[in-house]
Amino acid sequence: MLDFVVYILYRAGSAIVAALPLRLLFAAGQILGSCSWLVSGKYRRLAERNVGIAFGDEKPPGELRRLVRRHFRRLGANLLSSVKLTQMSPEKILQRVTIENIESMDSRFRAGIPVVLVLSHLGIWELFAQLMPKFVGYVRNASVYQRLGNRFIDAHVRRTRSQTGLELFDRKDGFQPVIDLLRSGGGVGVLSDQHAGDHGLWTPFFGRLASTSPLPGLLAKRTRAAVIAAAVYTTGPARWRMVFTERFDQPDASIADLTSKINKVIEQ
């Protein structure tokens, strides 16, 4: 019962947010992010620690603190904007988003080569669900995801993302369907910047060993797929840039080597 009440509140809030202009949502999100920075002492300190690890001695403490504050503001702006963007048509979205080097994926698909697209939790990564079927919809597009705790919200998210033609595979259901899709010449997006616990490979990440999911490398080796990374950068108020790398996997690389290379690409 509680899950359903939360779902109703979630849908009502989403409807209100989606009715507002995108630039207004972006500005409101920045304010929300600043408020979170002020009151979330625990997460602010965690962010400062992580940014310190990432940059080491490259930046003075004052600049690192300003960077964290800017991150909170951008996180809030992107969070509210994502609610609106996921309900906009691809044509409307592309008035706000520029795409760079999508040809890197397109050329592989047209050559019959499947693609493992490496993503990270940076920027509005949900945009990939909205835009990939538009640009490479002539092959099957999918994403590996983790089911949400609220089954009503989870079902709504699945419906929303599937409207564009994107297929979703739950990690808990195993990876054979993902492998089958890749072997058919399709593309699969994988968020690979999460702590993998005891099941991960300990590979360097910003100068520290981190437990990293070997899934992108494993899928690529099993299916001879190309590995390409992509990211979304916020370039201005309610404006973003989506960038794709060239293929960076090597045929003779081990899964461990490829996982380490993926971390290096994410760092950049």
Are residues 241 and 156 both part of a single domain? yes
pTM (two decimals): 0.89
Rounded to the nearest integer, the mean pLDDT of the chain is 90
Are residues 241 and 113 both part of a single domain? yes
User: What number is the average pLDDT over the span 204-210?
Assistant: 85
How many CA within 13 A on the CB side of residue 65?
A: 5
User: What number is the average pLDDT over the span 191-220?
Assistant: 86
150-172: per-residue pLDDT in tens?
Answer: 888 888 888 877 777 888 888 88
Indicate if the alpha-carbon torsion angle 199, 118, 143, 107 is positive or negative. Answer: negative
- pLDDT grade, residue 33 (50/70/90)? very high
User: What number is the average pLDDT over the span 12-34?
Assistant: 92
Q: Choose among 168, 144, 171: nearest CA to 156.
A: 168
Q: Residue 47 class from Cβ within 10 Å (0-12 exposed, 13-18 middle, 19+ buried)?
A: buried
Pick the last residue of a domain from 51, 69, 85.
85
CA-to-CA dists, residue 71 to 44, 76, 233, angstroms: 10, 9, 12
Are residues 180 and 256 both part of a single domain? yes
3-class SS string, the chain: CHHHHHHHHHHHHHHHHHCCCHHHHHHHHHHHHHHHHHHCHHHHHHHHHHHHHHHCCCCCHHHHHHHHHHHHHHHHHHHHHHHHHCCCCHHHHCCCEEEECCHHHHHHHHCCCCEEEEECCCCCCCHHHHHHHHHHCCCCEEEEECCCCCHHHHHHHHHHHHCCCCEEEEHHHCCHHHHHHHHCCCEEEEECCCECHHHCEEEEECCEEEEECCHHHHHHHHHCCEEEEEEEEEEECCEEEEEECCCCCCCCCCHHHHHHHHHHHHHC
- pLDDT grade, residue 69 (50/70/90)? very high
Are residues 78 and 166 both part of a single domain? no
Neighbours of 150 (CB within 10 A): 16
Pick the last residue of a domain from 85, 102, 120.
85
Domain coverage including residue 121: 91-267
- pLDDT grade, residue 122 (50/70/90)? confident
Residue with tokens 């964290």: 68
Q: Residue 127 class from Cβ within 10 Å (0-12 exposed, 13-18 middle, 19+ buried)?
A: buried
Are residues 99 and 81 both part of a single domain? no
Contacts of 228 (CB under 8 A, 6+ apart): 104, 105, 108, 115, 116, 117, 118, 244, 245, 246, 247, 248
Are residues 230 and 100 both part of a single domain? yes
- Give the model's pLDDT for residue 14: 86
- Give the model's pLDDT for residue 161: 78
Are residues 157 and 213 both part of a single domain? yes
Are residues 185 and 203 both part of a single domain? yes
Length of the chain: 268
Are residues 154 and 45 both part of a single domain? no
Above 90 in pLDDT, residue 133?
no
- Give the model's pLDDT for residue 149: 84
Are residues 77 and 140 both part of a single domain? no
Are residues 95 and 81 both part of a single domain? no
User: What number is the average pLDDT over the span 182-211?
Assistant: 87
Task: Provide the domain count of the chain.
Answer: 2
- Give the model's pLDDT for residue 134: 87
Q: Which residue has the higher pLDDT, 123 or 179?
A: 179
217-256: per-residue pLDDT in tens?
Answer: 999 999 999 999 999 999 999 999 999 999 999 888 899 9
Are residues 140 and 74 both part of a single domain? no
Pick the last residue of a domain from 66, 85, 104.
85
Q: Which residue has the higher pLDDT, 174 or 230?
A: 230
